[in-house]
Amino acid sequence: MRVDGLSKRFGKAGPVVLDNINLTIRPGEFVCLLGASGCGKSTLLNIIAGLEHPSEGTVTVASGKSAVMFQESALFPWLTASRNVELALKLRGVPRGRRRGEALELLDLVNLADAANKRPHELSGGMRQRVALARSLAQDRKVLLMDEPFAALDAITRDLLHEELERVWRETGRTIVFVTHNVREAARLGQRVLLMSSRPGRIRNEWRIVDDGPRRIESPEVSRLSIEITNHLREEIRRNAA
């Protein structure tokens, strides 16, 4: 996936939100976009997803369209977990006779097969996000865009979902672009962490992390990287406030 010279302005005379973003993401890579609120992270993700158009520049997703997962699970409350996933399969054109089996396989992939017949109100927040992840995977896109999907969850549930997401990423080989404002989350998950500046949003810093296996959020490596990134993020916030 490539982003070339991308800029975004809302309205002809509005402020520049994103300025000259250039970015290449390799197939199967896990990239975290990090920055203060209002820096344009979600806008960039929406442009990559095709939900918004850039004012300048281009986005090329070699594998075609991407799947998107948002902070809210946005499940249909009258449908069971399985039916919510089956709906995505239906929209993809999967024949009726295969949908139930494929939905159960996807729910099993996110360790939720035993909740297939439960409706969203019967599920915890973390379980609803697992269903949303399974539904995103049902679109069978090689690129998965995630906009702060775990921000509303408690720390323990979020940590458990980090483990699930990393396992699914390694098993499926998806390319993941993960937006967050949580420094430790970015340091825990990303192969690359990109720090965006504010007003307008630019890629200010980049960290490449050696992928030698799963990382724990409390590990010394994650702690050291979090401190380094936080110091740079504070500088960006101070610069913007000046």
| Average pLDDT value over all residues in the chain | 91
> Does residue 123 sit in the same domain as residue 156?
no
> Does residue 232 sit in the same domain as residue 149?
yes
As for how many domains the chain has, the answer is 2
62 vs 119: which has the higher pLDDT = 119
CATH of the domain at 150: 3.40.50.300
> Does residue 49 sit in the same domain as residue 89?
no
- pTM for this entry: 0.92
In this structure, what DSSP letter does residue 124 have? -
Element of type H or E holding 205:
strand 203-208
Q: Which residues does 125 contact at the CB level (< 8 Å), separation at least 6?
A: 73, 152, 153, 157
> Does residue 201 sit in the same domain as residue 155?
yes
Is it the case that residue 3 has pLDDT exceeding 90?
Answer: yes
pLDDT value for 15: 85
Out of 140, 172, 187, pick the residue that ends a domain. 140
pLDDT value for 77: 94
Q: How far are the Cα atoms of 19, 73, 104, 155, 199 from residue 126, in angstroms, in the given order?
A: 35, 10, 18, 11, 33
> Does residue 46 sit in the same domain as residue 147?
yes
Taking only the tens place, the pLDDT of each residue in 85-141 is: 999 999 999 999 999 999 999 999 999 999 999 999 999 999 999 999 999 999 989
Rounded CA-CA distance 65/137 in Å is 13
In the chain, pLDDT over 70 holds for what percent of residues? Answer: 99
Structural domain of 106: 74-140
